[in-house]
């Protein structure tokens, strides 16, 4: 009997132990992706809190809206984990012991003004410490209405996967209009983009940052074009590559750890004619636009108009928000403090304007030739030989297509490539290039041929020296005056953006029209340099580009004599340097487009020579 009782007690103990083990197994979750024998820190938690959407500047958060909404639960998915987590006392908590370090997505819903919003945010979990994740709530819904006009009526999904802050535009020219009731021009707009979507070189989809309800053809929007953040003008009158203003190359804003290319947050602070661009919360660019040249005479939109739009189908925009809250705007504006930008000028004839066609070899030699050189900006006017066709462009990054038309370029492209070792996002230094050049024009007292249009380059002191020999005071020296006007106008725009402008150097590429008279050219050039230093900067360095020894298609004694004179001029002028590009041949047999202009490969190399010379002398 005792033996039987002992056996029963032993069996019961075994059953109790087995039951305890089974209960433990049922009541405890094994963290995903944790190897056998692995451990998780005890007590650490992942904490979710709902908070009105806003911006964080210097550690302080500024809400976009006077608004709050309750979130009842959040769904966390990733690394084999999928759970609905309820909110208690404004928080939802998950023990880190249930998670593994890695990427998750948190999806949540709330109701605002009768609309149900469903949103999601990425969550990078690190189980080594407790972590708080903010779930932004906002009363903004895209797709409030659509409209027509020249932009067309879009075929679009107002919401994507039930998310009212997300829109997929499926046809170019459409937009979801959100707010156009105000008249202020100071506000902030942001959205999350999939940068991996390649819109191409001239297609763009993005944030509507300026729009006027009374002018359906006028508007400005910002988004991603290829690998750059751009502004675009979706007007039928400006439907070309020139209407795309690249302002920041995304490749330069990945950060040390990189970023999720499918979730790039682009924000734009508009303040009148000034636009400040933020990439993932970092100030990346400043852009100035005080007018848009529409065919019907409309100017820059002045009314509040924010929303989303696309120049081509396929634009996906999510986490859309906007605000006119002054505290939030002031905090963002404080990030755009004073900075210095070095200004370089390009002036002269058609080889300064840029008649060299873009080639695959040049384009493919550096992706920045297409996407833009961050921190090196361009604006100016490249005028044709007739003086009637202008390729006038407002501020943008240096790229291809800044010559006499969008298919050509000049020295600016190679200059930017070489100067990018000094001016870039790592050093924080910035440069701007302003071009004013007119094909076929003379530095001398000559109003024949191409000089009949806009005049010549005779500087004021030389004109005074010439006296009665000047036949037309209106056209004599007019190009010099226009260069000064262009420089001062562009300088004022940069100053309006908060830059202190230092005019550093001029690249002077001119002389082909004056080849027959090198002696008179020496005199005129001396006046040019002294007048520019008086009118622009006493410290102005001058870089003289040699004309090609084969200008006209063959090497001639006249060409060689003029190149020799250019060398002597540079050597005899203080702070003046010769760019030895005369050996780059011009002629159809050398791959040039004609007998007066360099090939794309030659001009790209010449631009690099200019940049290298600036690095060696002005920036040494």
Residue 197's pLDDT band, with cuts at 50, 70 and 90, is: low
Assess whether pLDDT exceeds 60 at residue 488: yes
* DSSP letter (8 states) at residue 515: T
pLDDT of the residue at 368 = 96
Burial of 481 (0-12, 13-18, 19+ CB in 10 A): middle
Share of the chain above pLDDT 70, in %: 78
Point out the least confidently predicted range of 294-298, 363-367, 415-419, 494-498. 294-298
Q: What domains lie within the chain, and their CATH numbers? A: 45-137 (2.60.40), 149-333 (2.60.120.560), 339-617 (3.40.50.1110)
Mean pLDDT is highest, among 48-62, 191-205, 288-302, for: 48-62
pLDDT in tens, 274-321: 999 999 889 999 999 876 544 444 455 544 456 666 555 556 777 888
Question: In which residue are the tokens 């203080």 written?
Answer: 574
pLDDT in tens, 493-552: 999 999 999 999 999 999 999 999 999 999 999 999 999 999 999 999 999 999 999 999
Residue 27's pLDDT band, with cuts at 50, 70 and 90, is: very low
* DSSP letter (8 states) at residue 404: S
Point out the least confidently predicted range of 134-143, 236-245, 368-377. 236-245
Spatial separation of the C-alpha atoms in residues 374 and 432, rounded to whole Å: 11
Max intra-chain CA distance, the chain: 142
Rounded mean pLDDT, 139-148: 52
Return the closest-CA partner of residue 446 out of 433, 437, 455. 455
Q: What is the DSSP string of 230-298?
A: EEE---GGG-SGGGEEEEEEGGGGS-TT---TT-EEEEEEEETTEEEEEETTEEEEEEE-S----TT--
pTM (global) more than 0.95: no
């Amino acid at each position: 009997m005792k033996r039987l009782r002992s056996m029963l007690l032993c069996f019961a103990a075994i059953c109790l132990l087995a039951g305890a083990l089974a209960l433990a197994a049922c009541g405890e979750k094994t963290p995903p992706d944790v190897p056998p024998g692995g451990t998780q820190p005890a007590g650490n938690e992942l904490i979710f809190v709902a908070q009105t959407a806003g911006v964080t500047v210097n550690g302080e958060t500024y809400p976009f809206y006077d608004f709050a909404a309750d979130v009842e639960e959040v769904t966390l998915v990733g690394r084999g984990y999928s759970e609905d987590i309820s909110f208690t006392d404004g928080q939802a908590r998950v023990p880190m012991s249930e998670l593994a370090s890695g990427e998750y997505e948190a999806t949540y819903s709330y109701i605002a003004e009768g609309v149900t919003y469903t949103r999601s945010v990425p969550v990078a979990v690190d189980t080594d410490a407790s972590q708080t994740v903010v779930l932004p709530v906002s009363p903004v819904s895209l797709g409030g209405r659509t409209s027509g006009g020249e932009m067309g009526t879009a075929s679009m999904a107002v919401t994507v996967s039930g998310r009212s802050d997300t829109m997929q535009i499926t046809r170019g020219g459409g937009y979801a209009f959100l707010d156009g009731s105000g008249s202020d021009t100071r506000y902030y707009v942001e959205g999350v983009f999939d940068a991996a979507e390649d819109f191409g070189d001239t297609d763009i989809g993005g944030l509507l940052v300026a729009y006027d309800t009374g002018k359906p053809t006028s508007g400005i929007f910002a988004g991603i074009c290829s690998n750059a953040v751009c502004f675009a003008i979706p007007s039928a009158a400006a439907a070309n590559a020139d209407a795309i203003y690249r302002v920041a190359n995304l490749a330069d804003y990945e950060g040390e750890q990189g970023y999720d290319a499918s979730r790039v947050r682009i924000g734009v602070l508009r303040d009148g004619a000034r636009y400040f661009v933020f990439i993932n919360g970092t100030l990346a660019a400043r852009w100035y636009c005080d007018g848009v040249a529409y065919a019907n005479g409309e100017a820059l939109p002045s009314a509040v108009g924010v929303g989303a739009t696309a120049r081509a189908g396929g634009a996906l925009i999510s986490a859309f928000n906007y605000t006119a809250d002054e505290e939030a705007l002031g905090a963002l504006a404080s990030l755009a403090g004073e900075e210095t930008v070095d200004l370089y000028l390009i002036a002269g004839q058609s080889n300064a304007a840029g008649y060299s066609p873009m080639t695959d070899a040049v384009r493919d030699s550096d992706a920045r030739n297409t996407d833009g050189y961050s921190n090196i900006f361009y604006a100016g006017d490249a005028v044709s030989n007739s003086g009637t066709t202008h390729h006038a462009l407002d501020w943008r990054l240096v790229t291809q297509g800044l010559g006499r038309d969008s298919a050509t370029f000049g020295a600016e492209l190679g200059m930017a490539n070489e100067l990018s070792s000094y001016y870039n996002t790592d050093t924080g230094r910035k440069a701007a290039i302003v071009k004013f050049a007119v094909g076929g024009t003379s530095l001398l007292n000559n109003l024949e041929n191409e000089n009949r249009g806009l005049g010549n380059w005779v500087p004021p002191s030389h004109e005074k020296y010439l006296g009665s020999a000047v036949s037309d005071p209106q056209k004599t020296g007019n190009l010099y005056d226009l260069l000064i006007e262009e420089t001062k106008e562009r300088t004022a725009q940069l100053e309006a953006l908060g830059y202190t402008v230092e005019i550093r150097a001029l690249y002077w590429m001119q002389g082909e029209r004056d080849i027959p008279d090198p002696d008179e050219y020496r005199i005129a050039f001396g006046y040019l340099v002294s007048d520019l230093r008086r009118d622009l900067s006493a410290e102005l360095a001058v870089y003289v580009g040699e004309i090609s020894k084969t200008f006209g298609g063959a090497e001639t004694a006249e060409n060689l004599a003029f190149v020799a004179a250019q060398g002597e001029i540079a050597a005899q002028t203080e702070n003046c340097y010769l760019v030895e590009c005369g050996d780059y041949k011009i002629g159809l047999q050398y791959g040039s487009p004609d007998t007066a202009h360099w090939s794309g490969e030659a001009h790209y190399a010449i631009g690099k020579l200019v940049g290298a010379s600036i690095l060696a002398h002005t920036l040494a």
